[in-house]
Amino acid sequence: MCGIVGIIGKDNAADILVQGLEKLEYRGYDSAGIFVAGANDQHYLVKSQGRIADLQARITPEVNGTVGIGHTRWATHGKPSERNAHPHTSSNQRFTLVHNGVIENFEEIKQEFLQNKQLEGETDTEIAVHLVEYFSDNGLATKAAFKKALTIIKGSYAFALIDRNDPETIYVAKNKSPLLIGLGDGFNVICSDAMAMLSQTNHFVEIADGEMVTVKANEIAIEDEKGNAVYRESYEAQLNLSDIEKGTYPYYMLKEIDEQPSVMRRIIQAYTTATGDTQIDEEILNQIIASDRIYIIACGTSYNAGWVGKAILEQMTNIPVEVHLSSEFGYNMPLLSAKPFFIFLSQSGETADSRQVLVQLNEMGLPSLTLTNVAGSTLSREADYTLLLHAGPEIAVASTKAYTAQIAVLAVLAKAIGDQKANPKSLNFDIAHELSVGAAIMETIIDEKMLISQLVEQYLTDSRNAFYIGRGVDYFVAMEASLKLKEISYIQAEGFAAGELKHGTIALVEEGTPVFGIITDQKTAAHTRGNLKEVESRGAHNFVISLESLAKETDQLIIPDVHPLLTPLVSIVPTQLIAYFATLQRGYDVDKPRNLAKSVTVE
C-alpha cells in the first residue's frame, strides 16, 4: 500500500523516480507525485491524481536534479486527489516528505502541536511534515526535528524527508512499513521494494523498525531509536529485471497464469531430491511434529490457499489444523492449544494484518513459519523459519501463481512431516511426480484459452452476479475462484459450499444466473451435481468444471485427472482464466483493479 522511492547523487533523478514508481504501481495507483531538487536552488514538485502515466504527462523537461523522492498512493486518509497526493510540503516549503503507512495519532498531534497550521489536504501524512517544521521552528536541527517527530508519531510508516536548505541528504525512517536502501557507486536510493530500483543497483540494506537513516550520495548512516550507530551488511537482490517485465504479454496476470507450470517445477527442484525425497529443514519438521495443532494465518487469496493446505496437512500428518483470517485472529485470538505451531501464508510477506499477529505471537514466544514469495520480507524476517514459494515476482494485483505455489509448498511440507511420522498415506505419495503431473495438466488447461474465452462470452457477458459452488476442497477452490472473478471483473461473485446454498442463498438465483460447479472429488461429486440441478431448476445457467474420471459429456470444462490431494492446483486454473477473460470483455484493467493494491501494508 503506497510505494516510495528516493535517489540522491545522480543527474537524472526525475526519470529514475518515475521509473521506480512505475515498478511500485502495484502498491497503489490512485495518485502519485515527485519532488526533485535541482541545481541553483531549483525545486520541483509535481503531483497528479491517477496513474504514474498521468504524473509522467505532467513532468516537463526542466524538472530535473540530483536528489528527489516520489510516491504512489493507495488512499487511506482522504480521497484520491491531487491535493492529497504525496509528497507533502510544510507551510514554509522547507520540508518535503513522502509516507507509506498510517499515522494513528494524527488527530492528537494536530490538536497538540499544529492548531495554528493551515493544512491543505485530509491526509495523516501532512501532519508529519508539519510536525518536523514545528520542531525545526523551535530550534532543532533537521535531523533532531525529524527524530523528535518520530518519537511522537504512532502507527506504521516508511518516511523519506528532504530539507530544501540541505538537499545533500534524504532522511528516512521506518516502522512496520517496508523500506530498503539501495547502494550505488556515487549515489544511493531508497525504495519500498527492491524491484523499483533494480535498474540502478542490486545491492540493498534492510532497515529495521525504529531505525532512522541519513542517506547521502556517498554514505548512509543508520541509527537505532537510542541514537546508536548500526552497521548492517548489504545483500544482493536475487531478482532479474526480466522477471519483472511483461514481455509480449498484454497483462501480468496472463503471464503469471502461464508461469504456473514452471513454478511447480521450480518447487520440485527446490524442495525435493533427485530420488524424490523431500528436503526441508529438519528443525522446521521437528517443531511441527512436536506441536499439537497447526494454525494457518493469512488474508485473501493466501487465506483461501490455507484451507486447501489444511486439507492436505491433516491427511498427511494427522495434526489438526485451523485456518484463520489475520485481521480477526489478532484481535479475537481463540483459545490456543497447549503446543501450537503457526504458519503464515503471505505472497508479499508484508501484509500488515498478518504482521500484527506475528508480533503478538513473538511476544508470547510461540513458534512460527512463514511461506512467502519474497525473501527478506518482514514476515520472513520476523518468523522463526521461512519457506520460499519460488513463484518469481507476482505483479498483477490478482494473485494466481502465488496461490498454486502456496498449495504446492504446503503439500511438500505435509509430505515431509508425514514421512517423518511414517504415515502410510504420505509414504505412498510421490510428491515430485504428482506435482510434475499437475504441472503438465496446468499446461493443457492453459492451452484451452480460446475455448475458455468463448465460454466466458456465453456465460458472463451481461451478468451482474455469479456463484462458484463445490464441496470439500472444491468449496475452498470456489472461494478463491469467486474472489478472482469479483476483484477484477467487478461481477459480484460468491464462493459457496454447494450443500449450503439451499439454506438461504439460493434465493438469489434467478433466470440466467451463472453458477459454476467444481467437481473433482468422487465422494461429493453426486451431491454437487444434485445441488447444480436444484439451481438449474430455478433458472441458473450452469457451468461445470470436472475431473475427467467424474465428468459428464455435458460438462463445459473437463480436466485430466490429478492426484486427489492436488486437485486444487489444476481446478483453479480455468477459474483464473475465466476471471481474466470476463475482465477483458468488460474493458477493465486486468492488472490494476479499482480500489485495490498488491501489498496491503495497512491494517
- Contacts with ligand M6R by CB under 6 A lie at 299-302, 346-348, 351, 354, 397-399, 487, 600
According to DSSP, the β-strands at 212-215 and 293-298 are: unpaired
Question: Do the beta carbons of residue 569 and residue 438 sit within 8 Å?
Answer: yes
According to DSSP, the β-strands at 170-175 and 212-215 are: antiparallel
Question: Do the beta carbons of residue 520 and residue 473 sit within 8 Å?
Answer: yes
Dist CA 276 CA 385 (whole Å): 23
CA 148 to chain centre: 32
Indicate which residues carry an active-site annotation: 2, 598
Burial class, 346, CB count within 10 angstroms (exposed 0-12 / middle 13-18 / buried 19+): buried
- Nearest-CA neighbor of 199 among 31, 21, 19, 339? 19
CB-nearer residue toward ligand M6R: 19 or 373: 373
Beta-carbon contacts of 368 under 8 Å, excluding residues fewer than 6 positions away, are: 341, 342, 343, 344, 358, 361, 362, 383, 384, 385
DSSP letters for 79-140: -SSTTTPSPEE-TTS-EEEEEEEEETTHHHHHHHH-TT----SS-SHHHHHHHHHHHHHTT-
CB-nearer residue toward ligand M6R: 200 or 346: 346
- Nearest-CA neighbor of 525 among 495, 556, 547? 547
According to DSSP, the β-strands at 492-497 and 170-175 are: unpaired
Dist CA 51 CA 17 (whole Å): 14
Question: Minimal distance in Å, beta carbon 133 to ligand M6R?
Answer: 35
Dist CA 598 CA 374 (whole Å): 13
Question: Minimal distance in Å, beta carbon 216 to ligand M6R?
Answer: 33
End-to-end CA distance of the chain: 10
| SS3 readout for 360-428 | HHHHHCCCEEEEECCCCCHHHHHCCEEEECCCCCCCCCCCCHHHHHHHHHHHHHHHHHHHHCCCHHHHC
Dist CA 191 CA 158 (whole Å): 9
- Nearest-CA neighbor of 417 among 323, 276, 311, 283? 283
Beta-carbon contacts of 292 under 8 Å, excluding residues fewer than 6 positions away, are: 319, 320, 337, 338, 339, 340
CB-nearer residue toward ligand M6R: 566 or 602: 602
- Partners of residue 387 on adjacent β-strands: 371
Number of Cβ within 10 Å of residue 332's Cβ equals 9
C-alpha cell, 147 = 527524530
Question: Do the beta carbons of residue 339 and residue 587 sit within 8 Å?
Answer: no
Dist CA 136 CA 406 (whole Å): 49
Burial class, 131, CB count within 10 angstroms (exposed 0-12 / middle 13-18 / buried 19+): buried
Cell 522477471 belongs to 243
Q: What H or E segment, with its residue span, contains residue 260?
A: helix 260-271
Dist CA 181 CA 214 (whole Å): 10
Dist CA 389 CA 370 (whole Å): 10
Dist CA 297 CA 431 (whole Å): 24
